[in-house]
Amino acid sequence: MVNLSSFSSIHFLFYSLVISLSSTVICGGIETDHEALLKIKSLITRDPYGALTSWNDSLHLCDWSHVYCGKRHRRVTYINLSSQGLEGSLYPHVGNLSFLRTLSLGNNSFQGAIPQEVGGLYSAIGAMLPNLFWLQLWGNQLSGPLPASISNCTSSKLLELNKNKFSGHLTVDFSKLTKMEIINIEDNLFGSKEADEMKFNDSLKNCRRLKSLAFGNCGFQGVLPRSIGNLSNQLYELTFYGNQLHGNLPSSIGNLVGLNKLSLGGNQFTGNIPSTIGKLQNLQDLYLYENQLSGQIPDSIGNLSSLLKLSLSSNMLEGVIPSSLGNCHHILSLFLNDNKLNGKIPVQLLQLSSLSITLDLSQNNLFGSLPTEIGNLNMLTTLNLFDNNFSGNIPSSLGGCSSLLRLSLKGNLFQGMIPLSLNSLKGLVELDISHNNFSGHIPRFFEKFKLEYLNLSYNNFEGEVPMLGVFANESTFSVLGNRRLCGGIIELGLSKCKETSKFTKKLHLYLIVTLIASALFTATCLAYAWCKKKRKSHLSPSSTSERHLKVSYSQLLKATNGFSESNLIGTGGYSSVYKGILFEDNDTFVAIKVLHLHTRGAQRSFMREFEAWRNLRHRNLLKIITSCSSIDFQGNPFKALVYEFMPNGSLHDWLHSSGNTSRLNLLQMIKILMDVANALDYIHNHCLPTIIHGDLNPSNILLDNDMVAHVGDFGLARFLGTSYQNNSTGIRGTMGDIAPGIIGFHIYLHY
């Protein structure tokens, strides 16, 4: 233990003092212990929990609370008063407790000096150091140089002196501490500015049992020596963060193959990251942030297959992001921000579904469009891409990042409208897309988000500023620099939005319906002629049926997070439809239609729809991936159909949902009608047997990423010329298919 008499003039809050002894000499008797404990109590000025209430003459001292005696000699061996909220000073003659082995007074508010008499705890403090098993003095205000006599603690396994104010040159000779396992001297004021200040590292090579070495935030200067690679192969933690170390990182660091954590951030290291770092395959946390490292990120970093957290931020790294990072399949957080990286984001990086905390690529020179694979990061909570040179439209797949809480795209070259798919990012609390070239109207669905901060400033947005949700408080959002905006709350000072006259609206409607009717007639004729011409070349779908992936009830349960309500996207009389991720099929987004088998007619609907999909294949029909006929965990029958997920919802959503502020333009409406016409022509004229849909309406017309229409829900279908045709009694819905022209009129009525 530290020579306590050398600290007799040091005043401190006594947060943690543990003194452990392993040799004894009998001096005095039980009366001496009794007197010493009562005098200790007399100097306690505050005892909020009554820890010392039982310390009186009515009980034998061995029965007092927090006091422990030896069974044979009935002398005090252990006092534990930690975390009792005690205030006061330490009784000088605590050293009279000659049988005391452990005194624990941590996490209290003792003040004053460490009494010199503590040295009276048997033959003087220095004499007992060789037998000291562990020493904890962390969390106090101890100062001055660390005594070299600690080198005599040859039996010690643990040395914790962190969170004090020790200073000066570290003179401890660690070569004698061969049994040491944990050394923690973080958060002190060492640093002598001598050239050989880090020489103490050389003496650590004899500590072959060393598991944790924590020297962070100590003020050390100098170069990290090559001898660092000679440390114990059992070492799992090495921290030198927050010092003033400089020079290159030694390649010998690759010898420490047992490391789980390497923290060297907040120093002044220069040069390249050594490729030997790829040998540390047990490494889980790697922190090299806030240095002056340069060159490229080595490809060998992809060998760190156990990596959970990687921070290389605030350096001078350049070149492209290595695609080998895609091999780090367990990584949770990745910080590459504030460097000089360029090129595009590697697709392999965006396929790391493990990324669930932070991906920060901000403040670099990255360019190109944002890959559609960004939607794979469906567990990510923070995505920072600000201050780069990204361009193009935001991909609709970004809506797949449904766990995002914070998203920053500011300071790039993005353009176009905000995609409707971002409506799925309902958990966002911070969104910053300022200083880009976004245009169009501000989406109304932002009103329903629980945003705490929204920055849309310095773009090209136009039209009315919403007034609900985050838009109701001027301090929580910004729309500065968008010159064509109007309306909003009065504090914005924007001009009032102009209203379109009734005559202009009627004229627009008249022109629109005329154009729709003309274009629809022409398109239908052309489509029919083309389909007629190609009819003979079509193969019967039943002759080329695909093998479908087999899934179980448990797999679908997992895909939908237990058929949770948050994944529910629709409910009908016979079924409920859930959004899910099919992990067995490369994490594919799917729509899972679960039949309500307790409802009369549901079984027949399932068989009818399954039979329909077994005979269908067309680009404008909803694609089935597989089906499931099984039992649930309670033994009840379970049936479901798994379809391709349509991220843009149904035509009904676009026509009726209040959350959709964007309207279908003329070309989109014509395209949707043509897609529906193609689908109906196919099932009427090119299928064997001919199929009548039976319930065609906007809810059953689904739209994919590119706004291509797909007809779905064949639960009420009729099969002409088969037994299914004659077994349609009681079927509800349309007896024949609705013509595309009627769908077009439906679009017109809601335009």
| Active site residue ranges | 695
Q: Which two tokens mark 354?
A: 């493990």
- Dihedral class, residue 83 (left if φ above 0, else alpha if ψ from -120 to 50, else beta): left
**DSSP letters spanning 524-568:** HHHHHHHHHHHGGGPPPGGGGPPPPPP--HHHHHHHTTTT-GGGE
Ramachandran angles phi, psi of 61, nearest 5°: -60, -25
Token output for 74: 């009935």
What span, in angstroms and rounded, lies between the C-alpha atoms of 310 and 314?
13
Contact, 288 vs 265, CB < 8 A?
yes
Residue 322: cis peptide before it, omega within 30 degrees of 0 = no
Tell me the helix, strand and coil percentages in the chain, rounded to 5.
30, 25, 45
Instruction: For strands 309-311 and 189-190, give the pairing.
Output: unpaired
* One-letter identity of residue 179: K
List, in order, residues 6 or more apart from 620 with CB less than 8 Å away: 675, 676, 678, 679, 682, 708, 709, 710, 711
Burial of 453 (0-12, 13-18, 19+ CB in 10 A): middle
- Looking up tokens 């849309």 gives 456
Query: Among 492, 405, 425, which residue's Cα sits nearest to residue 457?
Result: 492
Strands (E), 646-711: 691-692, 701-703, 709-711
Omega cis (within 30) before 689 = yes
Question: What is the full DSSP assignment across 202-261?
Answer: GGGGG-TT--EEE--SS--EEE--GGGGGS-TT--EEE-TTSEEEEEPPGGGGG-TT-SE
- How far is 27 from 33, CA to CA, in rounded Å? 10
Question: In whole angstroms, how large is the CA radius of gyration of the chain?
Answer: 37
How are beta strands 568-571 and 575-582 bridged, if at all?
Answer: antiparallel
Q: How crowded is residue 511: how many other Cβ atoms within 10 Å of its Cβ?
A: 11
Quote the tokens at residue 459: 């773009």
Nearest alpha-carbon partner for 629 in 638, 620, 621? 638
Rounded Cα–Cα distance for residues 425 and 402 (Å): 5
Question: From the CB of residue 513, how many other CB atoms can be counted at a distance below 10 Å?
Answer: 16
DSSP, collapsed to helix, strand or coil, labels residue 450 as: coil
Amino acid letter, residue 85: G
Report d(CA 301, CA 584) in Å as an integer: 28
